[in-house]
C-alpha cells in the first residue's frame, strides 16, 4: 500500500472537480456580510448568449481617425484658387413663408426659476477646470435667454421620448421655445412616439448599430441620431406635431437635414397645403432645407435622384430645443460609428449647447462591481462627443436604478452594481472634466425602482421606466438645471442689487454733500447778511 | 436544474469552442482547460505504462493546447523543435569525433534569437524608422507575439548548448524532444526545464505519483489559484491600476501603497501561475523545478535573483552570463557581465526606457553587491548567514529596492516614475490612512493577507502540504471545488468587463 501509484487519482480528482463545479450551479445567489454571491455557471459558454436584445456593436474608439477626419474637414475651405473654381454648393436652402415673430421674452426672476417644490435637489456635479466652466457657460446662455439646443443621447431608457418630452416641456414652459426638435426620417423598425407623428414610405433605413448591414458608402455618414434613410423618387416622410404637450404644436421653424451625392429634386410641403421644390446640388456635405412658417406638419418627398435624409426638426419661438437621440441597445459605443464630419456639419447648422450622455443600463451584470474598461470607453465617448460638438457642455448621466429577479424566491432585489457603475461613470466625467448627474440618486428620492414599479411609473422588468416615471426623472433633472439657473440669476440679481444700492448710496452721499454745502452756504449767506445788517445798522 | 438544460445549438458551440479564438486563449485557469484535462486524463491514465504511445499522446495534446493558445504558431514551435533536434544530433556526432561544434551551436542560437528578435523587436524597429523617415516608409502590421515564444526558444538554445558542453546526450526520438519543448503545463509561462532533469522523466517506463506528490500538487494548484486568480487580479483591478492612474487622489501614501501593491501583485500573478503549472505537472507525475522561493524575504539583491523566477535567472546565469565570460575574466569584466546580463534581461521584457532602467537598476545593484562582498570583510551573500538585526535591516532595504524596481517595470514611461516618486516625496501624509481604509479596504485586506502568506516560514508551507496530503481524496476534492468557486465569484465581481476569466497572466506579455 505504501508504494501505491497515485497517477489515476489525477483523473478521478478531475472528474470529481468537474462534477463538483457543475454542481456549484445549484447554489442559489445569496448575500453575506453585504457581499452578494452570484450563481456560478461552468457551462455558460455552451449556452446561447442571453438577452438577444443586446446586439454586439463592432465599434471601438478610434480617436486618431476622428482627429484626422476633423483636421481634413477644417482644411477643406482652403481650396486653392484655380481658373475654374467649382461653384460652392449651398449648405442651406431657405424658404421663408412667414417670418418668425420676434418674441420678446422677459428674463425670469431667480425665485421664478428656482424649483417649485421643496424636494431635495440632486445637483449637477461639474468637474470642469476652466475658470468659467462649459456648464456654467451653458447656464449663462439660459440666463441670457439665448436660443439653446440640447442633444440628449441615450438608449432604450429614453426611447419614444420618455423623460426628454417632459424635460423639454418643463424647460420650454419656463424659458420659451416650441417644438419637438429633431425626429428621424425613417427607422428600420417600428417605434411609437407620442410627441410626434411620423409617417414614411419608400425609404431604406439603416441603423448605426448594424454597420455590416449598412452600405459601404453610408457607413461614415451616420449622425448621432443613429439612423439614416436613403430613398429614390417617391420616398416621402411626413412629420406632424401633436398636442400632447402645450409647447409642441404650431412651430414656427422647420429644418430638414439631408444630402444628395448627385443633383436631385425634393419637394417640401407645409401643413399639407403649401409646397415648394428644391434642387439639391450634388455633394457629400450635409444640407438643410430651412423653412420659416407656422408649421403643424412638414413633408419631404424625393422627386428625382437619390437622397440620404437624416430627419427633420420642428422648433421655434426662440428658446429651448431638446433633441432626443435614443438608440436601443447602445451602450454609447455607437457614437464611434457616427461620422465626425457629419456631426460637425450638423452642429454648425443647429448649434448644440449641451450634450447629455445617458448610457450603461445594458452593461450591468448582477453583482458586478468593476467597470474599469467601460469607464475607459466612456472617456473615449466623451472625447469623441467633445470633438464633434466643440461648443457644447457635456453632462454624463449616471446609470438608472435597476432591480433583478431572484430566481429562487421570485422576488426582486437590487442588481447590486448600480452604485459601482455610477462611481465609474463619475470617475470618467471627473477625469475628462465634464459634468455629471447621478440618476439613481434622483430616483432614490422618489423611493427607487420598487416605488416606480408600485406607482406604475416603470415596467415590471424593474429596468425600464415609462412616461410617468420619465416625468419624475425629468423633474429631478430639471430641478438640478433650475437650481443652477436660479443660482446664476440670484447672483446676477444680487449683483444688480449691489449696483443699485451702490448707486443709491452714491446719490445719497451726493445729496448729503450738496446739503452740507448748501447749509454751509446758507450759514455764510446768513452771516454775510447779518454782517450786512449790522453794517447797515452801524451805518445808522 | 435550470442550468443543466441546453438548447439545440449546443453542439455547434462545442465545435466552435474547440477552435482557436485569439480573444479567448487557453490557459490553465480556464474552465475549458478543466474539461480538456478531464478528457486528456482518460487516455493518459490508460496509456501511462506504454511509454512511446503515452509520449506521443501527451505531445499531441500539448500541440493542441498550444494551438488553442497561439493558433497557427504551433507550426513555429514544431519547426524550432525540429531544427534544434537535428542540430543537437549533428553537434553530438561532431563532439564524439572530436570536431569543433561552435559553428552548429552558433547556427542554433542565430535561428532562435532571430525568431525572438523578429517577434519582439520588429515593431520597435519599424516604429523608429517610420519616426525618422516619415510614417509609411516601412509598411508593417504589428505582429502578434506567440505565447511563450521566449520560453521555448530559451529551452531549445539550452538543449543544444548542453549537448555541446557534454552535459547531456541528444534525444534519439524527435517526439521526445517535442515533448520536452511543448509539455503543456509549462508551455505558457514556464518554469523553464533543463533537458538534463526532464529527459529521464520523459523516458521513464511508468509515471509514478506518490501520495505526497499528489498532495503537494493539489496544494500548489489550490494555492496558486488563490494567489493568481484572486489576490493578484483583485488587487490590480481594485487598487493598483487606479492608484497609479491617480484616480485615488495624488497622496504620497497612496502612491507608496500602490508600489507595494504592485510588488505583491506581480509576485502573486507570476508565482501563482507557476505554482499551478508545477502542480498540474506533478499530479501527472512530472517534477518541474520550483520557480519562486519567497523572493521578498531576500536580504540581498543576489539572494533575490536566487529566489525570483529561478528557472529564468539560472538560465541567464548559465547561458548568458557564463557565455559572456562570467567571473573568469577579471573583476571588471565580472561587474560588466552582470550589468550586461541584467540589461539584456531588462530589454527582453520590452524595448523601452523603463525596462532598460529596471534592468540597469538590478545589474548595477548586483555588481555593487558583488563589490561590497569583496571589499567589506564579513559581508554576507545571503540572509540566512546574517545576524537577525542585520538581516531585518538588509531585507527591508532589499525589499524597497526591488519594489522601486517594479515601479520602473510597470510605469508607462519615465515621466510617470517621476510623478509617482514626486507624490511620495512631496505629498506624503499619514492622514491618508483613513481614506485608504475607507475607500480601498478590500484591497488593503488582500494586501495584508498576501504579504502575511508570503512572510510565513517555509515549514508552514510544508505543513500545509502534509495536511492536504492527509485530507484524502474527498478533502482534496472539496478544497479544489471551494477554491474554484471562490475564483469564479471573484471573477464575476471583478466582471467580464475587465477581462475576467479570459485575462492572461501579466508575464504572458513577455
**pLDDT (mean) for B486-503:** 63
Residue B498, pLDDT score: 45
Q: Is the pLDDT of residue B420 over 60?
A: yes
**pLDDT (mean) for B332-357:** 84
Residue A74, pLDDT score: 63
Which residues of A are less than 8 Å from B482 in CB distance?
Answer: none
Distance from CA of A47 to the nearest CA of B (A): 6
Q: Determine how many CB atoms are found less than 10 A away from the CB of residue A128.
A: 18
**pLDDT tens across B242-284, in order?**
888 777 778 889 999 999 999 999 999 999 999 999 999 999 9
In chain B, which residue's Cα lies nearest the Cα of A376? B498
Please report the residues numbered 229 through 248 in chain B whose beta carbons come closer than 8 angstroms to any beta carbon of chain A. 237-238, 241-242, 247
Q: Is the pLDDT of residue A9 over 90?
A: yes
Instruction: With cut-offs at 50, 70 and 90, classify the pLDDT of residue A56.
Output: very low
Q: Which of A10, A11, A43, A419 to mutate to test the interface with B (most CBs of B within 10 A)?
A: A10
Instruction: With cut-offs at 50, 70 and 90, classify the pLDDT of residue A536.
Output: low
The answer to whether the Cβ–Cβ distance between A368 and B495 falls below 8 Å is yes
Instruction: With cut-offs at 50, 70 and 90, classify the pLDDT of residue B415.
Output: confident
Instruction: With cut-offs at 50, 70 and 90, classify the pLDDT of residue A60.
Output: low
**pLDDT tens across B11-26, in order?**
777 777 787 776 667 7
8 Å CB contact between B428 and B256: yes
Which residues of B are less than 8 Å from A7 in CB distance?
Answer: 45, 48, 207-209, 284-285
b vs e for B205-218, b when ≥16 Cβ sit within 10 Å of the residue's Cβ? eebebbbebbbbbb
Q: Is B61 on the interface with A (CB under 8 A)?
A: no
Q: Which residues of B are catalytic?
A: 349
pTM, entire model: 0.64
For B250, the grid coordinates are 495624488
Residue B497, pLDDT score: 43
**pLDDT tens across A236-263, in order?**
999 988 887 878 877 889 999 999 999 9
Which residues of A are less than 8 Å from B48 in CB distance?
Answer: 7
**pLDDT tens across A290-316, in order?**
999 999 899 999 999 999 999 999 998
Q: Is the pLDDT of residue B394 over 80?
A: yes
**pLDDT tens across A78-131, in order?**
444 445 555 677 888 999 988 887 777 778 888 888 887 788 999 999 999 888
**pLDDT tens across A363-420, in order?**
888 777 888 888 888 999 999 999 899 999 999 999 999 998 887 787 888 888 898 8
**pLDDT (mean) for A341-363:** 92
Nearest Cα to Cα of residue A185 among A286, A110, A102? A286
- How far apart are the C-alpha atoms of B422 and B202, rounded to whole Å? 53
**Percent with pLDDT over 90 in chain A:** 44
The answer to whether the Cβ–Cβ distance between A14 and B209 falls below 8 Å is no
**pLDDT (mean) for B460-470:** 94
Radius of gyration of chain B (CA): 24
Average pLDDT value over all residues in chain A = 85
Which residues of B are less than 8 Å from A373 in CB distance?
Answer: 497-499
Grid-cell match 437590487, residue found:
A414
- How far apart are the C-alpha atoms of A388 and A89, rounded to whole Å? 22
- Residues near A366 by beta carbon (within 8 Å), at least 6 away in sequence: A29, A36, A38, A404, A415, A416, A417
Residue A534, pLDDT score: 62
Which residues of B are less than 8 Å from A37 in CB distance?
Answer: 489
First to last CA, chain B: 43
Residue A52, pLDDT score: 34
Instruction: With cut-offs at 50, 70 and 90, classify the pLDDT of residue A58.
Output: low
Distance from CA of B244 to the nearest CA of A (A): 14
Instruction: With cut-offs at 50, 70 and 90, classify the pLDDT of residue A63.
Output: low
Residue A80, pLDDT score: 45
Residue B474, classed as helix, strand or coil, is helix
In chain B, which residue's Cα lies nearest the Cα of A11? B41
- How far apart are the C-alpha atoms of A29 and A20, rounded to whole Å? 17
The answer to whether the Cβ–Cβ distance between B211 and A6 falls below 8 Å is yes
Radius of gyration of chain A (CA): 32
Residue B429, pLDDT score: 83
Q: Is the pLDDT of residue A1 over 50?
A: no
Measured between CB atoms, which of B42, B44, B481 is closest to A24? Answer: B481
CATH code of the region A63-75+90-99+123-497: 3.40.50.1110
Distance from CA of B100 to the nearest CA of A (A): 44
The answer to whether the Cβ–Cβ distance between B34 and A39 falls below 8 Å is no
Q: Is the pLDDT of residue A518 over 90?
A: no
Give the lowest-confidence range in A469-483, B112-126, B135-149: B135-149
Residue A49, pLDDT score: 43
For A108, the grid coordinates are 425670469
The answer to whether the Cβ–Cβ distance between B497 and A46 falls below 8 Å is no
Which residues of A are less than 8 Å from B135 in CB distance?
Answer: none
The answer to whether the Cβ–Cβ distance between B34 and A368 falls below 8 Å is no
Q: Is B445 on the interface with A (CB under 8 A)?
A: no
Which residues of B are less than 8 Å from A14 in CB distance?
Answer: 34, 37-38, 41
The answer to whether the Cβ–Cβ distance between B31 and A42 falls below 8 Å is yes
**pLDDT tens across A471-515, in order?**
999 999 999 999 999 999 999 999 999 999 999 999 998 888 888
**Half-sphere exposure of residue B297: CA atoms within 13 angstroms, side-chain side:** 16
The answer to whether the Cβ–Cβ distance between A24 and B213 falls below 8 Å is no
**pLDDT tens across B148-187, in order?**
888 889 999 999 999 999 999 999 999 999 999 999 999 8
The answer to whether the Cβ–Cβ distance between B10 and A12 falls below 8 Å is no
Residue A79, pLDDT score: 43
Sheet holding A196-201, edge to edge: A196-201, A236-241, A297-304, A264-270, A274-280
Amino acid at each position: 500500500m505504501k508504494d501505491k501509484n497515485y497517477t489515476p487519482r489525477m483523473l478521478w480528482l478531475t472528474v470529481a472537480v468537474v462534477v463538483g463545479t457543475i454542481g456549484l450551479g445549484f447554489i442559489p445567489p445569496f448575500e453575506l456580510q453585504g457581499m452578494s454571491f452570484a450563481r456560478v455557471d461552468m457551462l455558460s459558454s455552451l449556452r446561447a448568449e442571453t438577452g438577444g436584445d443586446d446586439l454586439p456593436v463592432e465599434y471601438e474608439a478610434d480617436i486618431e481617425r476622428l482627429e484626422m477626419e476633423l483636421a481634413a474637414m477644417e482644411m477643406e475651405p482652403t481650396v486653392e484658387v484655380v481658373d475654374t473654381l467649382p461653384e460652392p454648393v449651398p449648405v442651406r436652402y431657405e424658404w421663408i413663408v412667414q417670418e418668425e415673430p420676434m418674441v420678446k421674452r422677459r428674463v425670469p426672476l431667480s425665485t421664478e426659476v428656482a424649483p417649485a417644490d421643496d424636494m431635495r435637489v440632486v445637483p449637477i456635479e461639474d468637474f470642469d477646470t476652466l475658470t468659467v466652466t462649459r456648464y456654467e457657460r451653458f447656464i449663462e446662455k439660459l440666463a441670457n435667454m439665448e436660443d439653446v439646443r440640447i442633444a440628449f443621447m441615450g438608449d432604450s431608457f429614453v426611447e419614444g421620448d420618455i423623460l426628454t418630452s417632459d424635460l423639454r416641456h418643463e424647460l420650454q414652459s419656463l424659458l420659451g421655445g416650441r417644438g419637438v426638435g429633431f425626429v428621424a426620417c425613417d427607422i428600420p423598425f417600428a417605434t411609437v412616439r407620442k410627441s410626434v407623428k411620423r409617417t414614411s414610405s419608400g425609404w431604406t433605413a439603416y441603423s448605426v448599430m448594424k454597420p455590416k448591414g449598412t452600405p459601404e458608402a453610408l457607413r461614415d455618414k451616420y449622425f448621432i441620431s443613429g439612423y439614416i434613410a436613403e430613398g429614390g423618387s417617391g420616398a416621402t416622410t411626413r412629420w406632424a406635431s401633436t398636442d400632447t404637450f402645450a409647447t409642441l404644436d404650431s412651430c414656427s421653424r422647420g429644418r430638414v437635414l439631408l444630402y444628395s451625392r448627385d443633383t436631385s429634386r425634393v419637394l417640401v410641403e407645409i401643413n399639407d397645403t403649401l409646397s415648394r421644390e428644391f434642387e439639391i446640388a450634388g455633394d457629400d456635405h450635409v444640407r438643410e432645407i430651412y423653412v420659416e412658417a407656422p408649421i403643424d406638419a412638414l413633408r419631404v418627398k424625393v422627386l428625382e435622384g437619390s437622397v440620404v435624409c437624416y430627419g427633420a426638426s420642428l422648433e421655434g419661438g426662440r428658446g429651448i430645443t431638446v433633441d432626443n437621440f435614443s438608440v436601443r441597445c447602445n451602450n454609447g459605443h455607437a457614437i464611434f460609428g457616427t461620422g465626425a464630419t457629419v456631426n460637425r456639419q450638423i452642429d454648425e447648422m443647429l448649434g448644440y449647447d449641451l450634450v447629455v450622455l445617458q448610457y450603461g443600463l445594458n452593461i450591468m451584470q448582477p453583482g458586478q462591481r468593476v467597470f474599469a474598461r467601460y469607464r475607459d470607453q466612456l472617456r473615449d465617448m466623451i472625447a469623441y462627443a467633445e470633438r464633434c460638438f466643440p461648443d457644447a457642455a457635456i453632462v454624463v448621466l449616471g446609470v438608472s436604478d435597476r432591480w433583478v429577479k431572484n430566481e429562487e424566491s421570485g422576488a426582486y432585489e437590487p442588481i447590486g452594481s448600480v452604485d459601482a457603475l455610477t462611481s465609474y461613470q463619475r470617475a470618467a466625467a471627473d477625469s475628462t472634466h465634464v459634468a455629471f448627474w447621478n440618476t439613481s440618486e434622483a430616483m432614490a428620492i422618489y423611493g427607487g425602482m420598487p416605488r416606480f414599479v408600485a406607482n406604475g411609473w416603470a415596467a415590471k422588468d424593474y429596468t425600464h421606466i415609462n412616461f410617468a416615471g420619465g416625468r419624475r426623472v425629468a423633474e429631478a433633472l430639471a430641478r438640478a438645471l433650475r437650481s443652477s439657473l436660479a443660482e446664476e440669476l440670484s447672483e446676477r440679481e444680487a449683483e444688480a442689487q449691489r449696483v443699485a444700492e451702490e448707486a443709491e448710496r452714491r446719490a445719497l452721499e451726493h445729496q448729503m454733500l450738496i446739503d452740507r454745502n448748501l447749509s454751509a452756504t446758507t450759514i455764510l449767506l446768513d452771516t454775510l447778511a447779518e454782517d450786512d445788517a449790522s453794517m447797515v445798522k452801524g451805518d445808522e | 436544474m435550470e442550468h443543466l438544460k441546453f438548447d439545440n445549438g449546443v453542439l455547434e458551440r462545442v465545435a466552435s469552442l474547440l477552435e482557436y479564438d485569439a480573444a479567448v486563449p487557453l490557459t490553465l485557469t480556464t474552465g475549458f482547460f478543466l474539461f480538456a484535462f478531464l478528457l486528456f486524463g482518460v487516455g493518459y491514465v490508460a496509456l501511462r505504462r506504454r511509454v512511446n504511445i503515452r509520449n506521443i499522446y501527451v505531445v499531441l495534446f500539448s500541440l493542441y493546447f498550444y494551438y488553442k493558445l497561439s493558433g497557427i504558431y504551433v507550426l513555429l514551435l514544431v519547426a524550432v523543435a525540429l531544427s534544434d533536434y537535428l542540430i543537437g544530433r549533428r553537434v553530438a556526432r561532431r563532439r564524439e569525433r572530436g570536431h569543433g561544434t561552435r559553428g552548429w551551436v552558433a547556427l542554433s542560437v542565430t535561428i532562435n534569437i532571430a525568431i525572438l528578435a523578429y517577434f519582439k523587436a520588429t515593431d520597435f524597429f519599424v516604429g523608429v524608422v517610420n519616426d525618422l523617415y516619415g510614417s509609411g516608409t516601412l509598411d508593417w502590421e504589428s505582429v502578434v507575439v506567440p505565447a511563450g515564444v521566449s520560453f521555448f526558444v530559451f529551452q531549445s538554445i539550452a538543449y543544444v548548448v548542453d549537448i555541446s558542453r557534454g552535459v547531456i546526450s541528444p534525444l534519439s526520438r524527435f517526439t521526445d524532444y517535442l515533448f520536452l519543448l511543448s509539455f503543456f503545463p509549462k508551455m505558457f509561462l514556464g518554469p523553464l526545464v533543463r533537458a538534463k532533469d526532464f529527459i529521464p522523466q520523459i523516458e521513464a517506463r511508468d509515471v509514478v505519483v506518490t501520495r505526497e506528490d499528489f498532495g503537494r500538487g493539489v496544494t500548489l494548484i489550490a494555492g496558486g489559484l488563490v494567489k493568481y486568480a484572486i489576490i493578484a487580479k483583485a488587487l490590480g483591478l481594485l487598487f493598483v491600476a487606479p492608484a497609479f492612474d491617480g484616480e485615488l487622489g495624488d497622496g504620497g501614501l497612496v502612491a507608496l501603497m500602490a508600489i507595494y501593491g504592485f510588488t505583491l501583485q506581480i509576485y502573486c500573478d507570476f508565482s501563482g501561475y507557476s505554482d499551478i503549472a508545477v502542480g498540474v505537472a506533478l499530479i501527472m507525475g512530472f517534477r518541474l523545478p520550483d520557480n519562486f522561493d519567497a523572493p521578498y524575504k531576500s536580504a540581498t539583491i543576489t539572494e533575490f535573483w536566487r529566489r525570483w523566477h529561478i528557472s529564468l535567472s539560472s538560465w541567464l546565469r548559465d547561458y548568458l552570463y557564463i557565455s559572456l565570460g562570467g567571473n573568469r575574466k577579471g573583476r571588471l569584466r565580472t561587474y560588466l557581465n552582470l550589468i550586461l546580463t541584467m540589461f539584456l534581461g531588462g530589454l527582453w521584457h520590452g524595448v523601452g526606457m523603463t525596462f532598460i532602467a529596471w534592468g540597469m537598476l538590478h545589474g548595477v545593484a548586483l555588481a555593487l553587491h558583488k563589490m561590497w562582498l569583496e571589499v567589506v570583510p564579513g559581508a554576507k551573500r545571503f540572509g540566512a548567514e546574517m545576524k537577525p538585526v542585520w538581516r531585518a535591516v538588509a531585507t527591508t532595504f532589499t525589499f524597497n529596492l526591488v519594489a522601486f524596481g517594479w515601479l520602473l517595470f510597470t510605469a508607462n514611461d519615465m515621466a510617470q516614475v517621476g510623478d509617482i516618486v514626486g507624490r511620495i516625496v512631496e505629498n506624503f501624509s499619514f492622514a491618508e490612512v483613513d481614506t485608504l481604509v475607507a475607500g480601498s479596504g478590500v484591497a488593503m485586506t488582500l494586501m495584508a493577507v498576501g504579504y502575511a502568506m508570503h512572510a510565513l516560514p517555509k515549514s508552514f508551507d510544508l505543513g500545509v502540504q502534509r495536511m492536504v496530503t492527509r485530507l484524502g481524496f474527498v478533502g482534496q476534492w472539496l478544497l479544489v471545488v471551494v477554491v474554484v468557486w471562490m475564483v469564479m465569484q471573484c471573477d464575476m465581481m471583478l466582471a467580464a468587463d475587465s477581462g475576467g476569466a479570459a485575462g492572461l497572466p501579466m508575464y504572458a506579455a513577455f
